[in-house]
Amino acid sequence: MLQEMPAVMLKRPIHALALAVALAVAAPTAAYAQEPSDLAEGLSPRLLFVVSGGFWQTIEAAGETTEGEAEDPADAEPDQRGYYRALAIRSEDNSSRLYLQRVALTENGPELLETTEITEVTERSGYITDIRPENSAGVSASQGFAAFIYIKDAPDAPEPDMLELFVDEFGELTLNGASN
């Protein structure tokens, strides 16, 4: 003999599914609806410095025009565009780690695409005391990113060394002693 299941048990999976769908749809937009103060309070206390700047873009391979001539890549609209962000994080041992991020500008707001640890800084076990952009005037006219990293090998060292973090127009990353 079959027993009828109580209606409450049938409603729970339906409610759970409806809630899951609602949360999945709302989750991407919820991050953009947050108040700036909530975003600021949600940052890790281990975050030492953040510098954003420069830009990058991707353009599909040049197509052909109706006349059969190759399209000038300079006239093409970028498929994706964004900016770079350098972050200094305090490690468990209080030394600093440096990361470079690529952030895409999307219709829904900024979206983190990639995070790369700059291992030369991690291996040095130094202490980042400042990060400065190469240019504070606003958006760069050419692709790439540059920032100056001030780092000490010991917390009580009198002066920091200055390194230049550089990303060229092709996205190639270099870290060198600053030449200025």
Per residue in 51-103, pLDDT (tens digit) is 999 999 987 765 544 444 555 555 566 689 999 999 999 999 999 999 999 99
Beta pairing partners, 83: 103
Whether 50 maps to a domain, the answer reads yes
Nearest-angstrom CA–CA distance, 109 and 30: 12
Tokens representing 21 are 């769908």
- Strand-pairing partners, residue 109, are 106
Does residue 85 sit within a domain?
yes
List, in sequence order, every residue forming a beta bridge with 51; answer none if it has no partner. Answer: 86
The pTM (predicted TM-score) of the whole model is: 0.72
Position 28 in a domain: no
∠ CA 29-32-34, rounded to 5°:
115
Residue with tokens 């890790």: 44
Q: Can you give the pLDDT at residue 117?
A: 96
The reply to whether 165 falls in a domain is: yes
Residue 20 placed within a domain: no
Its sign, for the CA torsion 114, 49, 137, 177, is negative
Q: Name the DSSP letter for residue 68.
A: S
Least-confidence region, from 19-23, 44-48, 176-180: 19-23
65, part of any domain? no
* Mean pLDDT score, 38-47: 92
pLDDT of the residue at 39: 86
Average pLDDT over residues 23-39: 62
- The pLDDT-based confidence of 13 (bands split at 50, 70, 90) is very low
**Structural domain for 106, as ranges:** 36-58+72-177
Give tens-digit pLDDT for 108-167. Answer: 889 999 999 999 999 999 999 999 998 887 667 789 999 999 999 998 999 999 999 999
Q: Is the pLDDT of residue 22 over 50?
A: no
Residue 15 tokens read as 């409610």
Sign of CA dihedral 44, 41, 50, 167: positive
With 60 as the cut, is the pLDDT of residue 32 above it?
no
Q: How many domains does the chain have?
A: 1
Residue 27 in any domain: the answer is no
In a domain, 67, yes or no: no
